[in-house]
Amino acid sequence: MRRIIDYIRRKLSIRVSLVVVVFAALIFVAALSFFFLRARGAVREEAINRATQILDKTSLQVEGILNRVEVATAMTEWLVQRHPENSDSMFVYSRGMLLNNPDFYNCSIAFEPYYFKERGRYCSAYSRNIGGEIRTIQGGSDNYQYFYMDWYLMAKLLDQPCWTEPYMDLDVSTNTSEMVSSYCKPIKDSDGHFIGVINTSLSLSWLSETISALKPYPHSFSIMIGRGGTYFVHPDPSKISRETIFTHTLEDMNLPVSDLGHAMQRGEEGMMHTKVNGEDCYVFYKPLGKTGCSMAIICPERDVFSGFDHLRRAVLMMVFVGLLLMLFLFIRIITRELKPLRRLAAEAETIASGKLDTELPELDRIDEIGQLSQSFGNMQQSLVKYIDELKNTTAQKASIERDLHIASQIQMGMLPKNFPDRIYATLTPAKDVGGDLFDFHIRDGKLFFCIGDVSGKGVPASLFMAVTRSVFRTVSAHEEMPNRIMDSLNKTMADMNETNMFVTLFIGVLDLATGNMHYCNAGHDAPLLVGAGVGILPCDSNIPVGFMPDWKYSLQEAEIYSGTTIFLFTDGLTEAENINHELFNMNRVIEVATEALDAREQEPRKIIARMTEAVHEYVGEADQSDDLTMMAIQFIKD
């Protein structure tokens, strides 16, 4: 499953096709559901109309015959009442009934025991139509005591005409039985006393055949039940007159057919959706006149809706196949449309691998893919051009870096490399070439030294630094006072300063014999004196060198005691940043110097080494942001 999902996720064509087809399927489902619902309702209505018409027609047909029986019986009763004294007449009337109505099964005109004294206990004028021949006999005997029979008792007890429950009539003489139903009418004498019953029976074979033939659907069937629910018409002959509609409910109370049975027993007419033999059915039922019987047409739901179901299945199948076809076509079309994209992707891979001159496919298209291809071609050309430029630039950069390296070496070469005892200095540029400088030389028993920091960094700063250092050397070769050296240097630098650069500079001249030191500070950080203690050499506020050629720098003087180390530095020390951009600051410089003093390590190399270590520890992994220059001079009086 995961593999399929992964495959779909990789295939745009399948993904897009699926989305479209699923959306189309949803629309189809909604539309078809609505259609099927309405169509099913219409089919159901049609089934109801159809069954109702059949039942009405059959009912009318049955009632027509029943009415004839009732009318004929009433006429015979009239005759019997006109001549109640003559028992022989009863046989004539009984026979006449069947002669006039050859479709009647039999007719009995039966009287209460001993009503006719001359006839004794039994007097029942019984006529029976046997194949067109009317046979009339005395119907009562010890073996057939008619006055205990249902047909006789019903009319007598109910005191009104009624139809009996259908029953099997056994003709002993022919040993044949026939399912019949009898219409029984009580006979009253002129005083209104009950004297007997006229019974006219109809064979139900025709009714059974008529009802059995009601078959509006291939698997539908008809039933007829009596008052007691007994089946008198049923497709299963073994049930006829043996089972009732309720028989199986005695063992399974929940059978839904029970409701149908009761509705039919009540003589109701209607339709019921219920389960018959475990199958969903529509049952249409209607009473059969006044017989107490009820007929029903049972139509399996699958039959009623079979045409509809076929149509539905066909439509659903077509939609399903259509959607599949649609999915297939979409995938094919989208795959075909995306083919140039795939080629483009492959070419892009090739280009990405470095083959920039790969030839792109020619697309004769003006759509988005064509535009993309064109853009891709443009991009390829731009890329080739850019790469060429990049190559040149890289070459130039390499050349510059080489130059810079040489420049750095030249710059570093300008700085003193050999340090006498008690003097030491380091310069660590932030870039290849830096803007810091320091220098010293001894002339006439005096140590001339300077430390400076050119504004900016890199090559310009290094050039400015080189000039500053050269001028310092030149001026300090004949000038003794630092302020004059500074003035001279300032004038020279300001005059040639087209780029508005400047340099902070500290110049000192230490008399090595006395320890007397003249100094001048042009905006540089004041040096520390590390001797008996650690202190900052007081410095006047002077502007850096290079701004104003006429500026007069002040001269300051200090007495340096033997053993004191003058610690000079650039702002690369105090402004060294750690990873959190926090500055090393002056306090830490003083702290480290104090520690060195305490450890009696104020000797130049040691104090610079300790300071360098402290700075490196503080800065950690952070980049060096500025040139770092330190110079230490320890004065030892001879």
Contact positions vs other proteins (CB under 8 A): 143-145, 148-150, 153-154, 157-158, 162, 164-165, 167-168, 172, 226-230, 239, 241-248, 250-251, 258, 261-262, 265, 292
Task: Say how far apart CA 85 and CA 119 lie, in whole Å.
Answer: 12
Nearest distance, CB of residue 255 and other proteins, angstroms: 12
Task: Say how far apart CA 54 and CA 298 lie, in whole Å.
Answer: 12
Helix residue ranges, H only, 496-603: 571-574, 585-598
Nearest distance, CB of residue 112 and other proteins, angstroms: 13
Nearer to other proteins, 241 or 624 (CB): 241
Does residue 502 sit in helix, strand or coil? coil
Q: Are 274 and 260 in contact (CB under 8 A)?
A: yes
Nearer to other proteins, 182 or 488 (CB): 182
DSSP per-residue string spanning 200-262: EEEESHHHHHHHHT--SSTT-EEEEE-TT-BEEE-SSGGGTTT-BTTGGGGT-TT-THHHHHH
Nearest distance, CB of residue 226 and other proteins, angstroms: 8
Nearest distance, CB of residue 126 and other proteins, angstroms: 16
For CA atoms 150, 155, 159, 161, give the dihedral sign: positive
Nearest distance, CB of residue 170 and other proteins, angstroms: 8
Nearer to other proteins, 249 or 374 (CB): 249
Angle at 571 between CA 566 and CA 572, to 5 degrees: 105
Nearer to other proteins, 118 or 252 (CB): 252
Nearer to other proteins, 267 or 322 (CB): 267
Helix residue ranges, H only, 300-435: 301-304, 306-352, 368-414
Nearest residue to 417 (alpha-carbon basis) of 392, 383, 440: 440
Nearest distance, CB of residue 265 and other proteins, angstroms: 6
Nearest distance, CB of residue 177 and other proteins, angstroms: 9
Nearest residue to 196 (alpha-carbon basis) of 67, 81, 292: 81
Nearer to other proteins, 246 or 569 (CB): 246
Name the phi and psi angles at 126, rounded to 5: -110, 120
Nearest distance, CB of residue 243 and other proteins, angstroms: 5
Nearer to other proteins, 11 or 156 (CB): 156
Amino acid at 64: G
Nearer to other proteins, 236 or 591 (CB): 236
Nearest distance, CB of residue 233 and other proteins, angstroms: 15
Nearer to other proteins, 36 or 147 (CB): 147
Structure tokens at 76: 């015979």
How many alpha carbons fall within 13 Å on the CB side of residue 137?
12
Q: How many angstroms separate the Cα of 334 from the Cα of each of 123, 369, 374, 577, 605?
A: 99, 12, 20, 60, 78
How many alpha carbons fall within 13 Å on the CB side of residue 38?
5
